[in-house]
Amino acid sequence: MKVAIQADVVGLDPHLEGSYSSMLVIEQVYETLLLYTPEMEIVPLLAESYDIKDPLTYEFKLQQGVTFHNGREMTSADVKYSLDRIRDPDGGSPRSQYLTAIDSIDTPDDYTVVIHLSEPFAPLLSYLASPGFNIVPQEVVEEHGDLVRTMVGTGPFMFVEQIPNTRIVVERNPDYWQEGKPYLDGIEFIPMPEDRARTDNIVTGNVDYADQIPQKDIDILKDNPDIRLEGGLSSLHDFLFFNLRQPPFDNVKVRQAIAWALDREAMTQTILYGHGQAITCGKIWPYSWAYDDCNYYDKQDLDKATQLLEEAGYGDGFSVVLKCGAPYKAQIDAAQMIKEWLAPLGIEVEVVPVEWSTYLEDLTVTYNFEMAIVGWMGMTDPDEWVYNHYHSDGQWNMWAYSNPRVDELLEEARTLVTEDERAPLYAEIQEIIAEEAPVAYFFWYEQYEAVADYVKGYAHMPNQTKITFMDTWLDK
Amino acid sequence: MNPETATHSTTERTLHTANEVILRPERSLTALAVSRLVKNRLAVLGLVILCALIVAATMAPLLTRYSPTAMDTSNRFQPPSLEHLMGTDQFGRDLLSRIVYAGRVSLTVGIISVGVAGLLGTIIGLTSAYYGGWWDLLVSRLMDVLFAFPPVLLAIAIMAALGQNITNVMIAIGIVNTPIFARVVRATAMGVSGRLFVEAAQALGASNRRIILKHVFPNCLPPLIVQTTVAFAWAVIAEAALSFLGLGTRPPTPSWGRILDEGRNVMEYAPWQPVFAGLAIMITVFSLNVLGDGLRDALDPESTR
Amino acid sequence: MIRYVAYRLLLAVPVLFGISLVVFLLIQMIPGDVVSALLGMRTSPEAAAALRRMFGLDQPLPVQYARWAGAILRGDLGHSLRTGLPVSYLLASRLVVTAELAGLGVLLAVLFGMPLGVIAALRQNTTTDYLATSGALVGLSMPDFWLGTLLVLVFSIRLRWLPPTGYVPFSVDPLQNLKLMLMPAVTLAGGSASYIMRMTRSLLLEVLSKDYVRTARGKGLPERTVVYAHAFRNALVPILSVVGQQLGYLMGGVVIVEAIFAVPGIGRTALESIYNRDYPVVMGVVLLIALIYVVINLVVDLLAAIVDVRIREQIASPGR
């Protein structure tokens, strides 16, 4: 099956890579202990079953007879090795932070893995089902130093070749442990950065599957009888954030005023062509059990904004620089709309698109910004969404927000185990954030793939993974 | 007539004119050129269009009903109508006013960048031709280096280094345009410097600066003027190209290149947008080119038109 | 002759050296580096620092430049910081694409420009001439990114005759390759054809007014022979030098055209590598482009020199 993807794949190491395109390929070749279904439920994969013996001890029983592509059977030693490799702080994995709660890992026998935590950590299962936490064979890593160019996993497809800027090919694994699957003989990933190219290629039939269809083409493609659009609401969202380290953004009323000045519906209509959903409360998406529909910013309210500014002492307005990422048209569009809305409030905005490499430095290293726009994707556990963004020590807390009550809630929510226990905490967190407005959310994107009509068995995954390729076949 | 004296060189022809003037002092060079120019109908058309553009750009607020940045999201992608003569873009902004205001950007960038390049290039060209020596060698090599870059690429690299704003656009285009001015001026000046009246002036004890300013420079004016229109045309296209690639003016400031790029992205919804934007560029450049052609012929007595 | 060639090549060396220095300094001035682009947002300062050390980006500037220059002299262009591939491999594969595009562009430009220029010269001051000349002026004034956009609008979106972007190697699918190259080549050729047309016309007119042409006419030779055998042949060399110059100029136009039509050539490589701060690739690309310029100029000048000799011979014995 020919798949047109947006960006070229650079590295292939499942533990070191962070980019979306690399993950697309990685998840065909490697597997994780657990798996998400299209309904966003966690089910076993490489782990045949699991048992939470107590909040600090998780025991996994592995599937037997699973072989790596080099023929060797997967054992608990591989699981231990893989997880240790991820959580090694010097290992270079961008996900090492996520497993800091793991104290040690035991392998009492070849098919049993016991994970001991230093403190209760509810998101653990969610991470073990997410891309990037795959099981790799130790000897291959040691032989090559890393897996950036070599791919040896347990997955339904095996690596064939990678030609930069041209294609990456994987083929069917005949010894795959789930009998019968995969159905496809192979997958060819073709990078096509131009939106128009991907759309055109699926329409003309040059590819069977086009990923990341831009919002503006969705309505155009909907009418095409040879193509199906699969997709729905995704976790991708754009938002505006303030640098709380400097006035006037250390003043909560100023931030609230700006948050009230945004017309989120209009933004969804204009920037996303209606294919998205405005975020009016917190950013945890409707698919999650932690979703809160408090509907705080239900509409644009310029009067309220003006009033808040007056109360804050900025009735005469001020001028501010709004930075956004130059490669992202949606961010630039949003910036222009925000500039228009803030103008009558007396706030003069200068829009500065910044090239990506500089932008990252500005946002995460030098904190050289006043207001900025960025997009983010979430994994599936709410902790992953909010902890690092709102906690005082959070890794991604670029806006320097600090609220002891929120810290307390975040820490507690991670240690509780059941969804019922955690949900009210996350609701409160999101409502506090909405009110205090260190960030102002715009919308969630709907994300669509265009699939030829003869592609069957494919199911869109809301978390943007493509693991359902193993269930896909071509009916032609 | 010996074929070897009839060359293609503008320099030679200009010197011919200069000599002509010296022998017939009752008709000044300027009057001669102007009369020739006026006879060229196409060139006059170009001049008229150019003036109209300048007027339109300066009087932009008076000519347009809408602000170029005012959004009207319920009226997106409107085709040209009585309400919006050029239609609206994806934010509902009026395209006519955006294009008129964008003219300001293009003309400003053109004038300033060409002015800078012209000034710098002339100084470099004059001094290296007159003084020669190591300065000439150094500067010529430097100009060669700058010449060896595709001009668009050089402009992009400079913009990336300096950052994206309109001042830097002017600087970048100015730098890229400088070598050609330097070369043209140098070539002309070298021809003149060897002439009799320069030696005479030197013998009379005139200072070098005086000689350069009063004798050498005026003879460089004709090719310089022609080059200015050519460079201006290129500057307009270059600014549009940079904006098209996302490196020019900052949003939401309209620029023809940016409007074209935005229109290109939404061609399925608003095909009129890139058409109008490009048309604006083309008309401007056309008038400049035509004017430049006319000037070249007017200032050159041996044209084969 | 050989001495002249050698002399010119030798002269090119300091120029190339100067170019590499200018580009190197320019790039250093650009804020941000390839590391942040590579690692993305979800990373740590330690990982970034480790990567920088690995790439040698923490060394002082003169050291970095010296390292690079030394490697070049050994023939090693280095490796892309972003993909790890050898720069020479990248450039070679991309150059093939640009060569095809530029070649097609020049071909189209000459095929359309020259005949039109000849016709216009021969029918000077008639309606045909005015039409052709004005057409050329319009063609010159059209920005190539506009022409490209219009072509895509008409032929891809409205008529659906041609695919809008992309590239397929000729060896893989020749028909598709040509279909994909058609619009980019026409876009490139637009301005060039106009320029060639004008130059052809004016050069031919100039030659037609020369003595030896009058002589040939005076001898009673048919107009056709006069035009083609004498006038055109002598105008050919300056025209060829213009064509050569256009080829060099096209290397610049290629940057924009490749960007619009997503053609993976060296113009696009140059753009991408600047965005990605992929220093070795930028240096390699720029050096390559400059080298191409120098070579083209050299060939053009050589051609002029060779045929100059022939012109002198002709004048010495007219009526041959």
Quick one: pLDDT at residue C147? 92
- Mean pLDDT, rounded, for A45-55: 86
For A17, nearest residue in chain C (alpha carbons): C39
For residue A250, give the nearest of A48, A401, A415 by alpha carbon. Answer: A401
Confidence check: pLDDT of B213 > 70: yes
**Residue A286: pLDDT over 80:** yes
> What is the predicted pLDDT for the residue at A419?
82
Residues A328 and A437 in one domain: yes
Mean pLDDT of A355-366: 80
Q: Kindly determine whether residue B268 and residue C157, on different chains, have CB atoms separated by under 8 Å.
A: yes
Whole-number Å distance between alpha carbons of A156 and C210: 78
Whether the per-residue pLDDT at C312 is higher than 70: the answer is no
Q: What is the mean pLDDT of chain C?
A: 79
Specify whether the CB–CB gap between A12 and A30 falls below 8 A. Answer: no
Question: What pLDDT score does A264 carry?
Answer: 92
Q: Cβ(B49)–Cβ(B287) under 8 Å? A: yes
- C-alpha closest to that of B247 among C147, C38, C254, A355: A355
Residue B185: closest CA among B121, B230, B232, B117: B121
Which residues of chain A have a CB within 8 Å of the CB of C175?
none
Confirm or reject contact between C29 and chain B (CB < 8 A).
Answer: yes
Task: Give the pLDDT confidence score for residue C167 in this predicted structure.
Answer: 79
Q: In this predicted structure, which of A433-437, B152-156, B277-281 has the lowest mean pLDDT? A: B152-156
Search chain C and give the residue with CA nearest A205: C163
Q: Which of A196, A363, A364 sits opposite C165 (nearest CB)?
A: A196
Note whether residue A450 is domain-resident. no
The pLDDT value recorded for residue B60 is 79
Chains that touch B (3 or more CB pairs under 8 A): A, C
Q: For residue B18, what pLDDT band results from cuts at 50, 70 and 90? A: low
Q: Count Cα neighbours of B300 within 13 Å in the Cβ-side half-sphere.
A: 21
CATH no. for residue C187?
Answer: 1.10.3720.10
Query: Residue C35: which pLDDT band, with cuts at 50, 70 and 90?
Result: low
Residues of A in contact with C165 (CB under 8 A): 194, 196-197, 200
Q: How confident is the model at residue B6 (pLDDT cuts 50, 70, 90)?
A: very low
Minimum distance, in Å, between the CA of residue C38 and any CA atom of chain A: 9
pLDDT averaged over chain A? 86
Is position C129 within any domain? yes
pLDDT > 90: percent of chain C: 5
pLDDT per position as a tens digit, A302-315? 899 999 998 988 88
Residue A23 lies in a domain: no
> What local confidence, expressed as pLDDT, does residue C47 receive?
66
Q: In the predicted model, is pLDDT for residue A29 greater than 60? A: yes
Q: In this predicted structure, what is the pLDDT of residue C276?
A: 76
Nearest to A50 by CA among A103, A100, A124: A124
Q: Do A339 and B69 touch (CB under 8 A)?
A: yes
Quick one: residue A231, left, alpha or beta (phi over 0 = left, psi -120 to 50 = alpha)?
Answer: left
Q: Decide if B247 contacts B160 (C-beta within 8 A).
A: yes
Which positions in chain B touch A266 (Cβ < 8 Å)? 73
- Calculate what percentage of chain C has a pLDDT beyond 70: 82
**What value does the mean pLDDT take over residues C159-184?**
83
- Final residue of a structural domain among A113, A138, A163: A138
Nearest CB to B145 within list C22, C31, C149: C22
How far apart CA B169 and CA B229 sit, in angstroms, is 19
pLDDT tens digits for range B100-159:
999 988 899 999 999 999 999 988 888 887 777 888 888 888 888 887 777 888 888 888
Chain segment A231-247, per-residue pLDDT in tens: 888 888 999 999 999 88
The percent of residues above 70 in pLDDT, for chain B, comes to: 83
Give, in words, the CATH class of B46-63+85-298.
mainly alpha
Q: What is the pLDDT of residue C284?
A: 85
Residue B118 token pair:
């012209």
Dist. CA A52–CA A114, nearest whole Å: 10
Q: How far is A381 from chain B (nearest CA, A)?
A: 36
Tokens of B60: 């932009």
In this predicted structure, which of A296-305, B61-70, B94-103, C50-59 has the lowest mean pLDDT? Answer: C50-59
Show the DSSP H helices in chain B as ranges. Answer: 10-23, 29-39, 41-58, 60-63, 95-131, 133-147, 151-162, 166-193, 196-203, 208-211, 217-244, 256-265, 272-298
pLDDT score of C269: 87
Residues A441 and A357 both lie in one domain: yes
- What pLDDT does C320 receive? 39
Q: Which residue has the higher pLDDT, C13 or C266?
A: C266
What would the pLDDT profile of C124-143 be if each residue is shown by its tens digit?
788 888 888 888 889 888 99
**Average pLDDT for B293-303:** 72
Measured CA to CA, the distance from residue A364 to residue A440 in angstroms comes to 18
CATH of the domain at A287: 3.10.105.10
| Chain A residues touching B76 at Cβ < 8 A | 270
pLDDT (0 to 100) of residue C70:
78
Identify the pLDDT of residue B8: 44
Contact criterion met (CB below 8 Å) for A463 and A38: no
Q: pLDDT grade, residue B25 (50/70/90)? A: very low
A389 shares its domain with A324: yes
How confident is the model over C68-124, as pLDDT tens digits? Answer: 777 777 777 778 777 778 888 888 888 989 989 988 998 999 898 888 888 888 887
Amino acid at residue number A453: D
The answer to whether A340 faces chain B, any CB pair under 8 Å, is: yes
Q: Is residue A18 part of a domain?
A: no
Query: What residue type is assigned to position A120 of the chain?
Result: P
How much of chain A exceeds pLDDT 90, in percent? 16
Q: How confident is the model at residue C260 (pLDDT cuts 50, 70, 90)?
A: confident
Nearest CA to CA, how far is A214 from chain B (Å)?
11
Average pLDDT over residues C199-221: 74
A42 and A169 inside one domain? no
* Cα–Cα distance for residue pair A178/A184, rounded to 1 Å: 14
Measure the CA–CA gap between A84 and B190, rounded to whole angstroms.
75
If pLDDT is split at 50, 70 and 90, which confidence band does B1 have?
A: very low
Structural domain of A127: 32-138
C90 falls within a domain: no
Give the count of alpha carbons within 13 A of A322, CB side only.
27
Give A279→chain B minimum CA distance, Å. 19
Looking at residue B303, its pLDDT comes to 44
Stretch A280-288: mean pLDDT, rounded?
Answer: 85
Q: What is the pLDDT of residue B19?
A: 55
Q: Is residue A52 part of a domain?
A: yes
Average pLDDT estimate for A138-154: 82
Domain count, chain A: 3
The answer to whether residue B70 neighbours chain A at the CB level (below 8 Å) is yes
Question: How many structural domains does chain C have?
Answer: 1
Full DSSP string of C105-169? HHHHHHHHHHHHHHHHHHTTTSHHHHHHHHHHHHHHHS-HHHHHHHHIIIIIIIS--S-SS----
Note whether B157 contacts C: Cβ–Cβ < 8 A: yes
A266–chain B nearest CA distance, Å: 7
B304 → chain C, closest CA residue:
C206
∠ Cα A422 A423 A425 (to 5°): 70
- Cβ separation of A92 and C32 shorter than 8 Å? no
The model's pTM is: 0.83
**C306 within some domain:** no
Q: Are A339 and B252 in contact (CB < 8 Å)?
A: yes
In a domain, A80, yes or no: yes
CATH of the domain at A94: 3.90.76.10
Confidence of residue C38 (pLDDT cuts 50, 70, 90): low
pLDDT band with cut points at 50, 70 and 90 for residue B28: low
User: Which residues of B fall within a CB distance of 8 Å from C315?
Assistant: 3
Q: Can you give the pLDDT at residue B304?
A: 39
pLDDT at site B112: 93
Q: Is residue C15 included in any domain, yes or no?
A: no
Preferred mutation among C149, C213, C315 to probe B, highest tally of B CBs within 10 A: C149
Contact B69 A340 (CB under 8 A): yes
Listed range (A90-104, A453-467, B196-210) with the worst mean pLDDT: B196-210
**β-bridge pairing A227-242 and A439-452:** antiparallel
Q: C-contacting residues of B 36-75, CB under 8 Å?
A: 42
B96 or A17, higher pLDDT:
B96
A270 and B91 within 8 Å at the Cβ level: the answer is: yes
CA B74 from centre of chain: 40
Express each pLDDT in A265-282 by its tens digit. 999 999 999 899 999 988
Q: What are phi and psi of B164, to 5 degrees?
A: -95, 100
- The reply to whether A218 falls in a domain is yes
Which of A275-279, B200-204, B246-250, C211-215 reaches the highest mean pLDDT? A275-279
Disruptive mutation site among A340, A350, A351 for chain B (greatest number of B CBs within 10 Å): A340
Report which of residues B31 and A392 the model is more confident about: A392
Q: Which pLDDT score, from 0 to 100, does residue C226 have?
A: 64
**Shortest distance, CA A333 to any CA of chain B (angstroms):** 9
Nearest to B90 among A270, A351, A355 (CB): A270
Mean pLDDT of B243-265: 88
Task: Look at A18 and C31 and tell me if their CB atoms are within 8 Å.
Answer: no
What local confidence, expressed as pLDDT, does residue B62 receive? 80
Beta-carbon separation of C40 and A18 below 8 A = yes
The predicted structure's pLDDT at residue B3:
36
Averaged pLDDT, B27-53: 79
- Residue-level pLDDT at C221: 67
Give the mean pLDDT of A445-457: 89
pLDDT tens-digit profile of A118-127? 888 888 888 8
Q: Which of B165, B167, B250 to mutate to test the interface with A (most CBs of A within 10 A)?
A: B250
- Choose the weakest-confidence range: A267-271, B162-166, C231-235: C231-235
Chain C residues near any Cβ of chain A (below 8 Å): 31-47, 50, 82-83, 85, 156, 163-166, 262, 264, 275-277
Q: What is the pLDDT of residues A324-353, one digit of tens each?
A: 988 888 999 999 999 999 999 989 999 998
Domain membership of residue C8 (yes or no) is no
B160 touches chain A (CB under 8 A): yes
CA B47 to chain C, closest CA, distance in angstroms equals: 15
- DSSP letter at A189? E
Q: Which residue of B has its CA nearest to A196?
A: B265
Judge whether residue C40 has pLDDT over 80: no
Buried b (16+ CB within 10 A) or exposed e, A373-407: bbbbebbbbbbbbbbbbbbeebbbbbbbbebeebb
- For residue C121, give its domain range: 96-264
Give tens-digit pLDDT for A366-385: 888 999 999 888 767 788 77
Touching B: C residues 122-181, CB under 8 Å: 134, 137-138, 140-143, 145-146, 149-150, 152-153, 157-158
Cβ pairs A/B, distance under 8 A? 43
Last residue of a domain, one of A92, A115, A138: A138
- Specify the pLDDT at position C309: 62
